[in-house]
Amino acid sequence: MKKLNGKLKHNIAVFISGRGSNLKSIIKYSLKQNSYYTVKEVISNKQRAKGLIIAKKKNINNHFINFTKSKQLGNKVLSILKKNNIKLVCLAGFMKILPSYFIKSYNGKIINIHPSLLPKYKGLDTHKRVIANKEKYTGCTVHHVNVYLDSGRIILQKKVRITKKDTAKSIEKKVLKIEHKIYPKAINKVLTNL
Ligand code: GAR
């Protein structure tokens, strides 16, 4: 653990697959005085993920890992996490289902952000389904990861109102904005309870 401004900070790893806007907000918050964490490792299952460039620019260790090769996952990822004393793995737009042995080996220490008000709209294409069902509200949820899809214990959730003018695209924007606010706070919350 690193000491910053007289405070102990836990090392976290962020797993991504693409754009990395949540990664960016997590890094930004980590530099604030009231954050309990340092982003030590960024891991992507996609070689061309834009989020890897964000990590590089911030001088954060970053790796592309082929998650379909179980040896790479079992040996490489777990050894990166152990070597760097990673206290929490944060999935941020990570679009791959982790194998159950991996989830169990980091038991209770993996969290995810999902763009809906869980337990509603688990899985993909949440915004399209929300519009099709004429929902009045949607939002995002940070939750613990267990072996069932989008089903672990909820840590934080935030709602946004859907107007008649909204489309799946405009909702994606609205929801992303609140994701950026709640994910760093949820990370802090989990780390204070470790
Ligand atoms: C975010 O909206 C996140 O909630 C979602 O992917 C987007 C990633 O954006 N995650 C999932 O759908 C997971 N099932 P980002 O790469 O800009 O952070």
Number of domains in the chain: 1
Q: Provide residues with CB under 6 Å of ligand 1.
A: 16, 18-22, 92-93, 113-115, 176, 179
Question: What is the reported pLDDT for 69?
Answer: 73
Q: What is the pTM of this model?
A: 0.95
Residue range 9-35: average pLDDT? 97
Q: Check pLDDT > 70 for residue 4.
A: no
Mean pLDDT to the nearest integer, 88-114? 93
Boundaries of domain holding 151:
2-193
- Residue by residue, DSSP assigns 40-103 as EEEEESSTT-HHHHHHHHTT-EEEE--TTSHHIIIIIIHHHHHHTTEEEEEESS--SPPPHHHH
Is the per-residue pLDDT at 2 higher than 60? no
The CATH number assigned to the domain holding 52 equals 3.40.50.170
User: Which residues pair with residue 34 across a beta bridge?
Assistant: none
Lowest mean pLDDT among 1-15, 36-50, 71-85, 116-130: 1-15
Q: Is 10 in the active site?
A: no
CA of 17 relative to ligand 1 center, distance in Å? 9
- Give yes or no for a contact between 59 and 31, defined as CB atoms under 8 angstroms apart: no
